[in-house]
Amino acid sequence: MFIELGHFALTLAFAISLVQAVVPLIGAHKGWSGWMAMAEPASIAQFMLTAFSFAALTYAFVTSDFSVSLVVNNSHTLKPMLYKISGVWGNHEGSMLLWVLILTLFGAMAAWFGGGLPPSLRARVLAVQSAISAAFFAFILFTSNPFERMAAIPFDGSDLNPLLQDPGLAFHPPFLYLGYVGLSICFSFAVAALIEGRVDAAWGRWVRPWTLAAWICLTIGIALGSWWAYYELGWGGFWFWDPVENASFMPWLISAALLHSAIVVEKRESLKSWTILLAIVAFGFSLIGAFITRSGIITSVHAFASDPERGMFLLLILGVFMGGALMLFAARASVMEAKGVFGTVSRETALVFNNILLAVAAFVVFVGTIWPLVAEMAFGRKLSVGAPFFNMAFTPFMVALAILLPLGALLPWKRARLGRAGGALVPALALALALGALAWAMQTGRTALGPVGVALGTWLIAGAAVDLWLRAGRAGIVDRLRRIARLPRADWGKAVAHSGLGITMIGIAGVTAWQVEDIRVAQIGERFEVGGYGVTLDKVERVQGPNYVSTTATMGVWRGDRRVSTLHPEKRIYPVAGMPTTEAALDSGLRRDVYLVIGDPQEGGGWAVRSYIKPFANWIWAGAIIMALGGGLSLSDRRVRVAAGARQDRGAAPMPAE
Amino acid sequence: MLKRLTLILSLVLAAPALAVEPSEVLDDPGLEARARELSKGLRCLVCRNESIDDSNASLAKDLRMLVRERISAGDSDQDVLDYVVGRYGEFVLLKPPATGSNLVLYVAGPAMLGLGMIVAAFYIRGRRGRETPGAAGLSPEEETRLKEIMGE
């Protein structure tokens, strides 16, 4: 019963979205306020209906309603409750439903918080947003119906992929989708502004909080996914340059660029057409991501044939929205003449470089991701593009970005003198070089990667500190510290986010350059040494879990004669899904992780064991969380809140000087 | 009953959980390090973009063994890669060779960067040029008009 209601609600939301995509646009064109005003209640109704539909599907999963084929294929009565719920989005149909839920949520939020927007702009934004949701409602209803019933109801389900039964992955997709889909509202703002023919400082202010929110969610989502891969896949890799990962990384890079260029629009009324283009392209990459992950076209060209309908549909959505928006852009870009002028050395120039580096880095990832497809279709070459290529092609951009960042962040708007900003950064540079040299001296005969990463990371963190210090102005130390504490949250957000990037860089360089690995057959009771730690295999037992059987080892980690910790790496078999998983055990620390994996029993007795010491591994995700935190601080700044909320007069758009 | 079933299943399904297994490791640490480095650049043919060093598929294991066999037989790194590519095609290389059409892949990034820099340079110059609109000089008409005003 609920299921049919859910299906019906979704159909109803589709109908509303079709109307909402057209009526407010006409209203805005003709200046009919009644027609424009319908966008608001319609957005909210769309969201409510989709939420109900999502709740109905969740209810089916929670109660293990095996008359629904999606539940049968992705759930099981023995599965813990958390994974029954996360199973809702652990599959294609359900995740698309989550996608439209978030799409309509952002529409509704734009309606709720958009009170200060000029009515015509708001009507257009909501109409464009609704056009996107209409396309995805159609996609779900016509190709991926989550509410399909079974003809014969089975006794039990076939379980969720065991790799997905993990807290890290349970929350990874919702965050990622909040990010992907959050970019849709930036897209809607961009297209609405193009239709309106006006982009000014106020527009930059309205778009920035949405971009920031989407970027924060993307950052958290990517960090969760990478963290999950780190401990779940069993060898402690954290990034694989898999097409699906790249699909989430490209929007992240572009939205980071958009975030920065929107500041230029807001403060200086320059880079307008570029910012509009980025807003369009950012969502374009989200759509490409959806296409890559769902059609299977990139991982295997032949998988495309297995589901041509869905792939074609997504390609159609991508083509219509990107093609339409870019054509509109080409026609209207000339209207957006820049106002602000600036010198060659200025914050504006620095942000232009930031944008070039981020956008070209995203482009490199894009080309690498689709190259196997292009090479096969155009040149008949079957080839792979993997981690070694991306590491080589992508890293230089990040290095350049890190070198320029602290300097650019210090430059004032309009016109700056390099010497002044450079002089202030001398202590940061000295500290970075000193720590880099220290790292170089401490390691023996390894790559330069570790020291360089440490130096760059320190440079970013110390540079952010210098930025805060300068911002407080000249005063005694106590006064200055007090002023630093009282700086606007946007300033703090900037410093925190930039140092988060530095922390992540140290983590990546540290774990890549200084990891120690040991692979061996260990006997019960035996002790062996790995990178300064002793490891003992105490015992191995068979344990029955709720929906799996596990081979659980008890292992000790020693520092000299002191037992640092006791770890339980596991090997699990999920009989229903018929899949083994490795559960590595970690002793996490600030300086290093000890990472243990238990393998198979060996013929001559003993067990295969893999042990790693991974220096600074946690810094990767800590840095990402700090970046997201910095974004959150920025988002909570009063100036941004005011901009997103009420009391904005389009014509005046008063701006603080800084 | 269920317990027994799961036990049987667990034995049947006991796939190797490790990528590189202890039995594969070469005795000479120098050769082993070379083998690991090479393995990182070779694709597991049945996996999704995973290197054979990371993968626990049995096909990846075969390929790892093959790499170690060749290394033990005295092949240079390039010999090993040539041998593997000869058997499986360039599909196994995770970093495609920079030859022929693949040059596009390698040049795309730097070319885009150069293009971006040029466009940015013009843009920044343009913004600077308009910095002092008055100083750009008056048009001839304005000049004569000014003279008129001043002269009269």
| Min Cα–Cα distance to chain A from B69, Å | 19
CATH number of the domain that residue B36 is part of: 1.10.8.640
Question: Would you list the DSSP string of A606-655?
Answer: SEEEEEEEEETHHHHHHHHHHHHHHHHHHHTSHHHHHHHSS---TTT---
What pLDDT score was predicted for residue B15? 46
Nearest CA in chain B to A576: B6
The answer for residues whose C-beta is within 8 angstroms of residue A156's C-beta and 6 or more apart is A66, A76, A77, A576
Which whole number is the average pLDDT over A28-36? 89
Q: Are B43 and B93 contacting, i.e. CB atoms less than 8 angstroms apart?
A: yes
Q: Quick one: pLDDT at residue A297?
A: 64
Within-domain flag for B111: yes
B contacts of A610 (beta carbons < 8 Å): 18
Residue A614 confidence class, pLDDT cut points 50, 70, 90 = very high
Please tell me which residue, A483 or A651, carries the higher pLDDT value.
A483
Q: Chain A: nearest CA to B144, how far in angstroms? A: 29
Instruction: Please tell me the least confidently modeled range out of A168-172, A463-467, A629-633.
Output: A168-172
**Residue B84 and residue B104 in one domain:** no
Q: Is residue B119 part of a domain?
A: yes
pLDDT at A17: 95
Look at residue A640 in the predicted model and tell me its pLDDT: 58
Q: How far apart are CA B6 and CA A655, in angstroms?
A: 67
CA distance A271 to chain B (A): 9
Q: Is the pLDDT of residue B49 over 80?
A: no
- Cβ distance B18 to A340 less than 8 Å, yes or no, reads no
Determine, yes or no, domain membership for B151: no
Shortest CA distance to A456 belongs to which of A474, A473, A435, A441?
Answer: A435
Q: Which amino acid belongs to residue A311?
A: G
**Range picked from A273-282, A437-446, B141-150 for highest mean pLDDT:** A273-282
Does the distance separating the beta carbons of B120 and A356 come in below 8 Å?
A: yes
Work out the pLDDT band at A645, boundaries 50, 70, 90. Answer: very low
**pLDDT over 90, % of chain A:** 49
Say if CB A511 and CB A616 are below 8 A apart: yes
Spatial CB neighbours of A126, under 8 Å, sequence gap ≥ 6: A20, A24, A39, A40, A42, A43, A107, A110, A111, A114, A188
pLDDT tens digits along B107-126:
999 999 999 999 999 888 88
Name, in order, each residue with C-beta under 8 angstroms of A120's C-beta and a sequence gap of 6 or more: A28, A31, A36, A196
- Residue to test with chain B: of A341, A530, A579, most B Cβ within 10 A: A341
Question: For residue A273, what pLDDT is reported?
Answer: 87
What per-residue confidence (pLDDT) applies to A10? 95
Using alpha carbons only, what angle is made at residue A207 by residues A206 and A210, rounded to the nearest 5 degrees?
105
In 3D space, the residue among A269, A429, A279, B54 whose CA is nearest the CA of residue A421 turns out to be: A429
pLDDT score, position A626: 96
More confident residue, A197 or A141: A141
pLDDT at A326: 93
Mean pLDDT of chain B, nearest integer: 78
Per residue in A359-380, pLDDT (tens digit) is: 999 999 999 998 988 888 888 8
Q: Is B21 part of a structural domain of the chain?
A: yes
3-state secondary structure of A581: strand
What pLDDT band is residue A304 in, cutting at 50, 70 and 90?
A: very low
* Same-domain pairing of B71 and B106: no
Closest Cβ–Cβ partner in A270, A353, A388 for B94: A388
Tell me if A511 sits within 8 A of A617, measured CB to CB: yes
Q: Are residues B45 and B61 in the same domain?
A: yes
**Structural contact between residues A257 and A355, judged by C-beta atoms closer than 8 angstroms:** yes
Contact by Cβ (8 Å): A292, A298: yes
Above 70 in pLDDT, residue A79? Answer: yes
How many Å apart are CA A369 and CA A32, to the nearest integer? Answer: 47
Residues of A within 8 A of B50 (CB-CB) are 240
Q: pLDDT category, A346, cuts 50, 70, 90?
A: confident
Amino acid at A111: A
**Are B16 and B86 in a shared domain?**
yes
Is A100 a residue whose pLDDT tops 70?
yes
- The sign of the torsion formed by the CA atoms of B55, B57, B63, B66 equals positive
- Structure tokens of A581? 């998983």
**pLDDT over 50 at A412, yes or no:** yes
CB contact under 8 A, B49 and A243: yes
- Considering only CB atoms, which chain A residues are within 8 Å of B123? 352
Answer whether residue A589 shows pLDDT above 80.
yes
| pLDDT at A631 (0 to 100) | 94
| pTM summary value | 0.89
How many structural domains are present in chain B? 2
Residue B14 has its nearest CB partner, among A300, A580, A597, at A580
**DSSP letters of A175-236?**
HHHHHHHHHHHHHHHHHHHHHHT---HHHHHHHHHHHHHHHHHHHHHHHHHHHHHHHHSSS-
The answer, yes or no, to whether residue B136 has pLDDT greater than 50, is: no
Does residue A407 register a pLDDT over 60?
A: yes
Nearest by CB to residue A352, choosing from B23, B109, B124, is B124
B66 and B50, same domain (yes or no): yes
Considering the domain boundaries, does residue B146 fall inside one? Answer: no
Contact B94 A519 (CB under 8 A): no
Residue B129 sits in which domain range? 100-133
Please report residues of A whose CB lies closer than 8 A to that of B128. 341-344
Per-residue pLDDT, averaged over A203-215, amounts to 91
Nearest CA in chain B to A344: B124
Helix (H, G, I), strand (E, B) or coil at A155: coil
Question: Residue B10 domain-assigned?
Answer: yes
In chain B, residues with a C-beta closer than 8 Å to the C-beta of A580 are: 13-15, 17
Q: Closest CB to B19: pick one of A235, A340, A352.
A: A235
User: Is the Cβ pair A375, B18 closer than 8 Å?
Assistant: no
Q: Which of B5, B9, B112 sits opposite A360 (nearest CB)?
A: B112
Q: Residues of chain B with pLDDT > 70: what percent?
A: 78
Mean pLDDT of B147-152: 68
Is A352 in contact with B21 (Cβ distance < 8 A)? no
Mind giving me the DSSP string for A266-327?
HHHS-SHHHHHHHHHHHHHHHHHHHHHHHH-TTT-TTHHHHSHHHHHHHHHHHHHHHHHHHH
Residues B83 and B118 in one domain: no
Q: Label the pairing between strands A592-601 and A570-574.
A: unpaired
Q: Is the pLDDT of residue A71 over 80?
A: yes
Together in a domain, B81 and B126: no
The whole-number average pLDDT for the span A190-202 is 88
pLDDT at B14: 43
- Integer-rounded Cα Rg, in Å, for chain B is 32
Mean pLDDT of A427-451: 86
CB A276 within 8 A of CB A328: no
Contact call for B49 and A241, based on CB within 8 A: yes
Confidence of residue B141 (pLDDT cuts 50, 70, 90): confident
Q: Is residue B147 part of a domain?
A: no
* pLDDT at A90 > cutoff 80: yes
Please tell me the distance from the alpha carbon of residue A372 to that of residue B91, in angstroms, as a whole number.
9
Calculate the CA dihedral of residues B115, B116, B119, B121 and round it to 10 degrees.
-110
B87 and B104 in a single domain? The answer is no
User: What digits encode the pLDDT tens for the residues A560-586?
Assistant: 889 999 999 998 888 877 778 888 899
Per residue in A220-235, pLDDT tens? 999 998 998 888 777 7
Cα dihedral B124, B127, B129, B130 in deg (nearest 10): 180
Q: What is the least distance, in Å, from the CA of B82 to any CA of chain A?
A: 15
Verify that B77 and B118 share a domain, yes or no: no
pLDDT value for A391: 92
Task: Mutation target for A interface from B4, B49, B63: give the one with most A CBs within 10 A.
Answer: B49
pLDDT reported for residue A556: 94
Q: Give me the amino acid identity at A366.
A: F
Q: Which residue has the tokens 């010491």?
A: A613
Is B73 in the same domain as B48?
yes
Q: What's the pLDDT at B117?
A: 93
Residue A351 pLDDT > 90: yes
| One domain, residues B73 and B16 | yes
Outline where chain B has alpha helix (H): 2-12, 29-40, 58-72, 77-88, 102-129, 140-151
Candidates B77, B85, B105, B128, partner chain A, best to mutate (most A CBs within 10 A) = B105
Q: In the predicted model, is pLDDT for residue A282 greater than 70?
A: yes
The shortest CB-CB distance from B105 to any of A368, A579, A600 is to: A368
Query: What does the pLDDT read at residue A652?
Result: 40
One domain, residues B104 and B50: no
pLDDT mean over A170-174: 87
Q: How far is CA A486 from CA A2, A468, A490, A492, in A?
A: 53, 11, 11, 9
| pLDDT score for B57 | 79
B-interface mutation test, from A385, A446, A512, most B Cβ less than 10 A away: A385
Mean local confidence (pLDDT), A248-267: 92
Token pair 């629009």 in the structure block, residue: A265
Residue B9 scores a pLDDT above 50: no
The model's confidence at residue A445, banded by pLDDT at 50, 70 and 90, is low
Looking at the predicted structure, is the pLDDT value of residue B135 above 50? no
Q: Is residue B76 part of a domain?
A: yes
